[in-house]
Structure 1
């Protein structure tokens, strides 16, 4: 077991006293008495199915058994009882349930080691990339379809991961699931219709632990399924998991956590208080709505450099494969490089006479060609159009405005932030200096920016390894004040000023203004 960990499941090898006239305890009491000695006097709950089988299991095992218990809000619960000579691994599975992809982590709960991970495309995407399209599909009778698609994915992925490790899905005795509010509603077949309309109310904020058969999961039948809680319609368990991963709720200093996906989700605070919000800032930053945008995968351009002197362009792709398109970090790099090289002005307008060799009309509007067709994987040019730039500036402006509204809501400034956590694949690849150049992130010292990686997955794994996290999450939910951007008039007022590079108020970006000689 890893140092200091207190996992959600524990296995004990027990040698029980055999029944006798002077000791006629039932199999259930005999086992629970022995476990109580291991669990500081706590007697675990016993599922009915196991209670039925204990009178057969114990004698056949010669009263030498491996008993596995799992943690929950009502205390420990017996999940498995095997003959000692047939003992099995004690495994957990953590799931990052995203709207685009789902990531699974198989964890050995006895050693704390992550044995393997697996990323799969979310099959619900066929019903719409936008989560609102899926809600509409659910309202039209498709809710059970959405649930069965993701449950089938869970089961297939559990089998695939376990098979590769030479273990069985029945060895999984605990599963933690972190997802946004809507995705968790789909998973549990809860009505999502009120999530997207005023007053934006989920059907459930906190989910009680589930049994696998309640939703059709094919793992250990007595396993515990724990779905991380949400705080609001647009603030789900994935962000709660991010708070766990960053440990910002356990720190004295003030931290800000930003997760850019379909929405931009933001948390500000420390161990005593937290404010949070979410808003639509992500699609263009993810590359989803741009002419040549794509997800971060092999062939996606992740870095762009443009020489201010001769305007030559250098790009780097994920996996060093031939270029296929632009992912989020590449898009930010590109706009920053174009701005620095004078290829766009502060309004985002293309300076078409600056580099005529790369400026051309595509679909009746001006565009800047990043990679000509002769150098791409598909024989088509990779470019950014004037409309793309407009969409990107709206997205980056919304991102900055969300951050600023949250900061102002508690009466502090960006200078008061000690840690700026950037989550997700976006956080892994983004260059904060470039995001500052275009006015997407605040101008603070670069060493304050800390990439988190897959914070939802990291938080879900932490739940498996530290059972106290379940209580911590309840405390986190209670201390969060959620700001609803949809009803805040100051958001739209401030957004107008952020629709420039980097901003209309250059005092917010003095370093950028000085470096680029802006006025």
Structure 2
């Protein structure tokens, strides 16, 4: 049996699938909960690489990649093909390409620092040559970078969403740490990204966690706010119900006692609930202890909402910049695509209420 590996190098972590090449079946999945290099966003990773050297950054990342693929429940000696996706910075770190030209914008800066522009073309390479623990000659498919921090992941997002086929004005955004986004107006496509940080993926949050069993993924309003908890099948079930204004639990749900933390989508819902309950004033939660308590000792506090607001603000700035650059107004947008794990599962109404969507 021949195997393939699909690999996504993200700013907040790495995800890999093992694939049966005979029928395309996904065999197993492995995910990390953080990036191996210090920092919470792409700028931190650029700084680390420039200060400490490309080789060190590459070796740190490859050590993580090899640990991840070792968990894929396959014989790595039978891997024949690897397909990788990620933004240009992460793919450069993976391939061992210097990132100085991505850290400094503009030709003048490049000349002043004597920086050479690197080639980041699409191609098929030897996966073992970049340091993967797979047989020599294993094909490594690397998609092209578009420009600067917009790369293969953004291109895949545009392709898979149907964004490229739309005739109306449309916007697509990957609601992740690097927040790649693209705006299509007529035949023109404008791209950008925002260093939103990891809050949208449940990281940098006190009780934050990736989407997994026991995570609060949403809060549903039923005259009170009902926690929605992911079960072992990753389906959202009913947890406890709360009146956040009165700071009390009003009903215990079937999943009482099962919450372990809160995901990025849950954080968005919690921010919306705090706004609706008028608990967020002048940058602070106005509850008695400064915490918005949910069930099973899971809570968010002012720090968490501030982290979420940083992500929301970064994405709003990105959206408004693209819209202004394209010469249109928010009301001219017809379609909005939400991509990435958070974008796929977040409640779109709550996302719009907190500002993650332009006012359409």
Structure 1 pair 120/136, CA: closer, same or farther in 2 (3 Å)? same
Provide the residue aligned with 2:46 in structure 1.
135
Provide the residue aligned with 1:190 in structure 2.
97
Q: Does 1:322 align with 2:258?
A: yes
Q: Does 1:261 align with 2:172?
A: no
Provide the residue aligned with 2:36 in structure 1.
125
The alpha-carbon deviation at position 152 of structure 1 amounts to: 4.3
Summarize deviations over 1:79-129 as a string: whole Å, max 9, x none.
xxxxxxxxx54x433211123322223334443x23324123178525444
Structure 1 pair 228/408, CA: closer, same or farther in 2 (3 Å)? same
Summarize deviations over 1:420-441 as a string: whole Å, max 9, x none.
2211110232101011122321
The aligned length equals 328
What TM-score, normalized to structure 2?
0.77
Structure 1 pair 127/119, CA: closer, same or farther in 2 (3 Å)? same
Provide the residue aligned with 2:301 in structure 1.
384
Decide which structure has greater helix share. 1
Provide the residue aligned with 2:189 in structure 1.
274
Bigger Cα Rg: 1
Provide the residue aligned with 1:409 in structure 2.
325
Contiguous gaps of at least 5 residues in structure 2: 111-116, 232-254
| Partner Cα separation in structure 2 for residue 204 and residue 159 of structure 1 | 30
| Partner Cα separation in structure 1 for residue 354 and residue 69 of structure 2 | 42
Q: Does 1:94 align with 2:6?
A: yes
- Is the 1:294–1:300 contact (alpha carbons within 8 Å) kept by the matching residues of 2? yes
Provide the residue aligned with 2:309 in structure 1.
393
SS at match of 1:115: strand
| Partner Cα separation in structure 1 for residue 28 and residue 341 of structure 2 | 15
- Over the aligned positions, Cα root-mean-square deviation in angstroms equals 3.2
- Is the 2:40–2:197 contact (alpha carbons within 8 Å) kept by the matching residues of 1? no
| Partner Cα separation in structure 2 for residue 254 and residue 371 of structure 1 | 40
Summarize deviations over 1:398-431 as a string: whole Å, max 9, x none.
3223212212322334454444221111023210
The alpha-carbon deviation at position 249 of structure 1 amounts to: 2.2
- Is the 1:285–1:328 contact (alpha carbons within 8 Å) kept by the matching residues of 2? yes
Summarize deviations over 1:8-39 as a string: whole Å, max 9, x none.
xxxxxxxxxxxxxxxxxxxxxxxxxxxxxxxx
| Partner Cα separation in structure 2 for residue 271 and residue 221 of structure 1 | 46
The alpha-carbon deviation at position 271 of structure 1 amounts to: 8.5
Structure 1 pair 442/126, CA: closer, same or farther in 2 (3 Å)? closer
What aligned pairs does 1:276-295 form with structure 2 within 5 A after superposition? 276-295=191-210
Structure 1 pair 419/170, CA: closer, same or farther in 2 (3 Å)? farther
The farther-off stretch of 404-413 and 183-192 is: 404-413
| Partner Cα separation in structure 1 for residue 34 and residue 315 of structure 2 | 28
| Partner Cα separation in structure 2 for residue 388 and residue 155 of structure 1 | 33
The alpha-carbon deviation at position 170 of structure 1 amounts to: 4.7
- Is the 1:298–1:318 contact (alpha carbons within 8 Å) kept by the matching residues of 2? yes
- Is the 1:287–1:294 contact (alpha carbons within 8 Å) kept by the matching residues of 2? yes
SS at match of 2:328: coil
What TM-score, normalized to structure 1?
0.55
Provide the residue aligned with 1:342 in structure 2.
278
- Is the 1:185–1:192 contact (alpha carbons within 8 Å) kept by the matching residues of 2? yes
Q: Does 1:226 align with 2:138?
A: no
| Partner Cα separation in structure 2 for residue 234 and residue 339 of structure 1 | 33
Structure 1 pair 125/218, CA: closer, same or farther in 2 (3 Å)? closer
What aligned pairs does 1:58-97 form with structure 2 within 5 A after superposition? 89=2, 91-97=3-9
The alpha-carbon deviation at position 334 of structure 1 amounts to: 1.4
